[in-house]
Amino acid sequence: KYFNKSWTHQGDKLPVQPQQIWTPDVTVLNGVGGFESLLDIHSSPIVLSDDLFRRQTGVNLLWSRPLDVQVNCEVDMRQYPFDQQSCFIVVGSWTSSRREMLLIPQPFFAEYTIHSSEFQVVNITVHEEDVYTHGTAQMFNEVVYKIVLQRYPHYHLINFILPMLAVTLLTIATMWMNPAAIGPRVNSATKLLLCVVSIIFITARSRPALHGDIWMDRFQSHCLALSMSSVLESLFIDHIKMGGISAVWLPCPDRIDAILRALICGLAAVVICADARQVQETSILDVRSALGTPSTQLLVGFIYLLALCLVTSSAWAFLWLVIPKRWLRRLQGMDEDQTSSCSIGSEAVPLLLHVGGDDDAHKFVQRSAPRSATWSPRLD
């Protein structure tokens, strides 16, 4: 009684009750919950459309039902919290084979209208698959929707990653404190090391408990190792100054301190850059947008300034070690005849100073200094 009539206007639609016509047993095949609304045929009517809609879409019946379906999604957390997930929703029939029902995917999506506080819907695609089942010896038609989700990294950057990076750089910066006051130097580095450990404990509740290695675990372990290296470097310098290591070939403590500072700072730059490169290219734009927010600009600027100071100081220390000493004396305005030697050891080591005078008379002054003493010769 409905189908012997003609349409008056283009775009007209006629609602029909689902009990009056045949309805397919379409369901979400990989769903794990939320089937009550899907199996309820009385939830919404079927809309009978005109010929214009049929020519555009290939169908003349539209049955739209609101669903709240839970599906099984295999996630890859190796790049957490910069991970990108792909979830699939498989729609098909359990009883109607391809001979009885043919599913036609409709590319009508509204991913730009889907919002989430944790994920961004990057893309939604759909394709059709034919699956053969040996139990029924029939071919079934399925429609697969692929939903690509990108996690927002702003929460993890502002609360975990940037604070830990800043504390790690501050721990490395303690190596530039005066070696003569080794106690406050070790004390400051140890307190900052405990801050790194505290951040790891706090973030443990937010990280997924998975078997395997994720980006967040690697980053935190690297920060912890760099902080511990800074503390151990200060303890090693104190051990040398107290005469714990006696060797003629061993350089003076200040030179050893400069070498270790440059090595640890260079290692920190390599490790941090390697961790940054492990972030997928698809997440770089999201990371840059998160770093450009007002809540992170001040902290990011502080980290950049601190890193620049550490790299500059390490580069200068490295140049001080490799540049010939006569060039350094020229830069410092010293004569080439003015020489001094640095001694290390608990025993007294003679220091020979060449004191310039008349051309016909030269004299040498011999002094003895303990290994841990630091003094500068006075030239008259």
Residue pointed to by tokens 């140049």:
319
Q: Residue 69, SS3?
A: coil
Of 325, 344, 370, which one is at a domain's C-terminal end?
325
By three-state DSSP, how is residue 353 classified? Answer: strand
The domain total for the chain is 3
Q: Answer with the one of 152, 181, 204 that is the final residue of a domain.
A: 152
Q: Do 144 and 159 fall into the same domain?
A: no
Give the integer Cα–Cα distance in Å for 44 and 38. Answer: 11
141 domain residue, yes or no: yes
Give the pLDDT score at 364: 41
**Residue 262 belongs to what domain range?**
154-325
The residues, ordered by sequence, that sit 6+ positions from 252 with a Cβ below 8 Å of its Cβ are 342, 343, 344
**160 lies in the same domain as 196:** yes
User: For residue 120, is it within any domain?
Assistant: yes
**Residue 369, in any domain of the structure:** no
Residues 288, 292, 297: CA angle, nearest 5 degrees:
125
Q: To which residue do tokens 């007002």 refer? A: 294
Same domain, 30 and 87: no
Return the sign of the alpha-carbon dihedral for residues 114, 119, 122, 125: negative
Same domain, 285 and 211: yes
What is the pLDDT, as a whole number, of residue 284?
A: 61
* 232-241 per-residue burial string, b: 16 or more CB within 10 A, e: under 16: ebbebbbebb
Residue 113 sits in the same domain as residue 85: yes
User: pTM for this structure?
Assistant: 0.69
Show pLDDT as tens, one digit a residue, over the chain (380 residues).
455 666 666 777 788 887 788 777 888 888 887 666 555 655 678 888 887 887 877 778 877 777 777 888 888 888 888 888 999 999 888 888 887 888 877 666 665 667 788 888 888 888 888 888 877 788 888 999 898 888 888 888 888 898 999 999 999 999 988 888 888 999 999 999 999 999 888 888 877 777 778 899 899 999 999 999 999 999 998 888 887 676 667 778 888 888 888 889 889 989 988 888 888 665 665 666 666 677 677 778 888 888 888 888 877 777 766 666 566 566 555 544 444 445 444 444 444 444 444 444 444 444 444 444 444 444 44
Closest CA to 111 of 71, 148, 67, 65: 148
Q: How far apart are CA 179 and CA 239, in angstroms?
A: 11
Classify burial at 196, counting beta carbons within 10 Å of its beta carbon; exposed 0-12, middle 13-18, buried 19 or more.
Answer: buried
Q: Please, what is the Cα angle at 162 between 78 and 293, to 5 degrees?
A: 100
Same domain for 58 and 98? no
User: How far is the CA of 91 from the CAs of 75, 142, 148, in angstroms?
Assistant: 20, 6, 17
d(CA 79, CA 86): 14
Backbone dihedral region of 219: left (phi > 0), alpha (psi from -120 to 50 degrees) or beta? alpha
Strands (E), the chain: 13-16, 26-28, 31-33, 46-49, 61-62, 70-71, 84-93, 119-133, 138-151, 349-355, 363-369
**Under 8 Å CB-to-CB from 210, ≥6 apart: which residues?**
77
Neighbours of 226 (CB within 10 A): 21
The CATH number of the domain where 282 resides is what? Answer: 1.20.58.390
Residue ending a domain, among 104, 136, 152, is: 152
- The secondary structure of 150-206 as a DSSP string is EE--HHHIIIIIHHHHHHHHHHHHGGGS-GGGHHHHHHHHHHHHHHHHHHHHHHTTT
The confidence score (pLDDT) of residue 103 equals 83
The C-alpha atoms of residue 206 and residue 220 are separated, in whole angstroms, by 14
Cα-flanking dihedrals φ and ψ of residue 4, to 5°?
Answer: -95, 20
Say what the pLDDT of residue 372 is. 42
